[in-house]
Structures are given as structure tokens and as C-alpha cells.
Amino acid sequence: MVVFAEYIWMDGTQPTQKLRSKTKVLEVDDVKKVEDLPKWGFDGSSTNQATGDKSDCALHPVSYYTDPIRGWPHVLVMCEVFLADGKTPHPTNTRAALRAAAKKSEAQDPWFGIEQEYTLFKGSRPLGFPDNGGFPAPQGPYYCGVGADEVHGRELVEAHMEACAAAGMRISGINAEVMPGQWEFQIGPLGPLQAADQIWLARWLLYRLGEEFGINATLYPKPMRGDWNGAGAHTNFSTKAMRNKGGMKVIEAACKALGTRHYDHIQEYGANNTERLTGRHETCSIDQFRYGVSDRGASIRIPLQTAQDDKGYLEDRRPAANMDPYRVCRVILETVCLNAKPVLGGVANGTTGKAAQVLAAVTHGSH
């Protein structure tokens, strides 16, 4: 049979890597496992991954899902990028390091559930913001709202949820967000590689379906300055010990460990996050670290249900919408499951401006 395989990979754009894809037409008996999909290559000099004289990069399929747009037997294929030798992960291949950390943490059975917030744009303004430069009514009614005066872009959001489910991904919900034109979908709970692969593929589907609607989704963490919420990617996490009775003790120990490596995490949690983590709009300031039960102003929230049941998970509220889930899942595993030592460390008394320094190398805006 003929299979249109859409090979999808992360490019080398900094500070926020973007998705690229191209189609390989395969003549195969069936696609039953990832090994049925051949390795491939691309021109790295056009993706910020190579120079023109040594332009070949290798694509290694690592997971695949039904292509919900073309339908089965067509597939979406997530790939890792390798150097031309086919053995060395490309420096932009952040999944390779997550693979290693996931393997070492396997016995603790870690699960991730990621809430991906995003903002829909038509032209240069978010949906719901008038073209003439004016502003909609202040925030309040939009979160989980209904009605044409409050909700913008639902056709695309619904098509996206349908597509993720039809692809076979574990999409666990959607909701309209606090700012007009802002939405969220959730993936998980799943193991680290599956959760992270599905976030990248769900982002690809969102951009791809946006083409049909003339709407562009962006992950910029603070798309509108002023009294408008930013966009994050809350990362919910648990290990087997946290999910068992007595889990609260394990969760509290994890929160303490996360505090000792606050800046090691901030470094991995997305670009331009200083604009979003201000201490306002349901965030904790980027130069503070706090955890607490039910506290949406904390860095880490422990859901009330988890505290009541003495088992469950924690929610790391710091990652920005434009984070790379391979990097976020990796650093959480290193801190919580693999006892990594602090390098950049935690928040000392009266620390200010350290996050801006840490992120200085990655603060050039990108959508």
C-alpha cells in the first residue's frame, strides 16, 4: 500500500526551536512498528542545523501516530535529528538526553501531564482584539466562557481536539483561557517520552489546522503586555511512590529538591519567561520559589485532592508556553528521580534579576 508519512522534527532556531516537516511516500506492506519507517535526511543548512558545505542531517523515526488529516494508513512520524554519521545526536536533538534520563528513572514509573496554553492570532492581533488597535473588555468572563461575545476560535480548537484524538494521542481536555483568544489543551498523563512527543505533535497539528482557518497559533509566553494573562505550560508530575498512599511526603521532598535547583529549572523552562512570571496573573515571580497546597500563586501547586488523599501529583507552574517538553521533562527527572546536584542553585534571600541573567542567552523573542 501507499503511505504518506509526514516526517516531523525540531529545527535549530534559537531560542525557541520550531517544527519542520516533509512528506515521504512509502510503498510498504503495513506500518506496525516504528522500524517499518525508514530513516531519512534533510538539508540542515535551511533549518539552522548545518552549514551549506556539510548540509546533510539524518532523521530517525522515534514514534508515529495516525495522520488524522489524511487518515490511516497515512502517518505522522516524530523524528530525532542525528549528524550525517547517523550515530551522534545533533546538538539540537534535546530528545536524546530525555531518552537517557527516562531510562535511568524507569523503575520509579514517572508520569507527566502537560497543560499547553496558546494564543490564536489573525494578522498581528489575538482573536477577540479589534483590528483598529482597541481592546476588548477586561479579563474576567473569558476563562471557560461561552458565547460569541466571549469566545473566539472555537472551530479551530474543536477541530484540533478531534484530530489529536483521531491520531491516537492522549489528549485529556481543552478550555478557553483567561485572555480572549487564549486556549489550552492537556496531554497525559503519560511516560516522559510519550508525553513530550505528543506535545510536539499536537503543536504541529494546531499549526497545520490553523492553515485551514487562516489562524496562527503562537506560544509566546506574554503575547499582550499589560493586564492580560500570559501563556504557560504547567507540567504535572508524579512517580509511583507519589501515587501511592503516603505520597504527600514524597511530593514534599520533591518540592524541596526542586527549590534547591530553581535556576537550573528556569534555564530549561522556555524563553522570555521573565515577561510572564511576574507574581501577577496567577504566577509566582521568576526570582522566587514557593510551593503550596491549592496555591495558584506558587511555583509548584499541590492539588487539594492530592493533599486530602495523601497521594497524587504536583503541578510545576513555571514552564512557559514555548518550552521544549524534552528539556522540561528531563530536568524534572534529573532533580526528582536522579538526585542531580544544584549548579545554578535556588533562590537566596533577596535574589533579584538572576533569572534575567540566566535567560540572557535565550531572551530574543520568537513565536
DSSP SS3 for 254 = helix
- Interatomic CA distance for residues 321 and 158, integer angstroms: 20
Binding to ligand ADP (CB under 6 A) within 6-65 occurs at: none
Among 184, 268, 287, 324, binds Mn ion (CB under 5 A): 184
- Interatomic CA distance for residues 25 and 34, integer angstroms: 16
Count of helix runs (H) and strand runs (E) in the chain: 9, 14
Among 6, 115, 264, 324, binds ligand ADP (CB under 6 A): 115
- Interatomic CA distance for residues 127 and 120, integer angstroms: 6
- Give, rounded to a whole angstrom, the gap between the first and last alpha carbons of the chain: 38
Among 118, 237, 263, 291, binds ligand ADP (CB under 6 A): 237
Q: Residue 31 has which C-alpha cell?
A: 506500518
- Interatomic CA distance for residues 119 and 274, integer angstroms: 18
Stretch that binds ligand ADP, among 39-47, 154-162, 230-238, 354-362 (CB under 6 A): 230-238
Stretch that binds ligand ADP, among 85-93, 283-291, 310-318, 348-356 (CB under 6 A): 310-318
Binding to ligand ADP (CB under 6 A) within 323-362 occurs at: none
Q: Is 316 in the site for Mn ion (CB under 5 A)?
A: no
**Partner touching 236 among ligand ADP, Mn ion, none, CB below 5 to 8 Å by kind:** ligand ADP
Stretch that binds ligand ADP, among 13-21, 88-96, 110-118, 148-156 (CB under 6 A): 110-118
Q: Is 234 in the site for Mn ion (CB under 5 A)?
A: yes
- Interatomic CA distance for residues 59 and 84, integer angstroms: 9
φ, ψ of residue 355 to 5 degrees: the values are: -60, -40
Peptide bond into 15 cis (omega under 30): yes
Interacting residues of 180 by C-beta distance below 8 A, sequence separation 6+: 126, 127, 128, 129, 136, 142, 150, 152
**Partner touching 210 among ligand ADP, Mn ion, none, CB below 5 to 8 Å by kind:** none
Q: Is 108 in the site for ligand ADP (CB under 6 A)?
A: no
Q: Is 115 in the site for Mn ion (CB under 5 A)?
A: yes
Q: Is 172 in the site for ligand ADP (CB under 6 A)?
A: yes
Of 144 and 146, CB closest to ligand ADP: 144
Stretch that binds ligand ADP, among 231-239, 267-275, 326-334, 356-364 (CB under 6 A): 231-239
Helix axes 325-332, 95-105, angle to 10 degrees: 30
**Residues at the contact surface with ligand ADP, assessed by CB under 6 A:** 111-113, 115, 172-173, 186, 188-189, 234, 236-238, 243, 312-313, 315
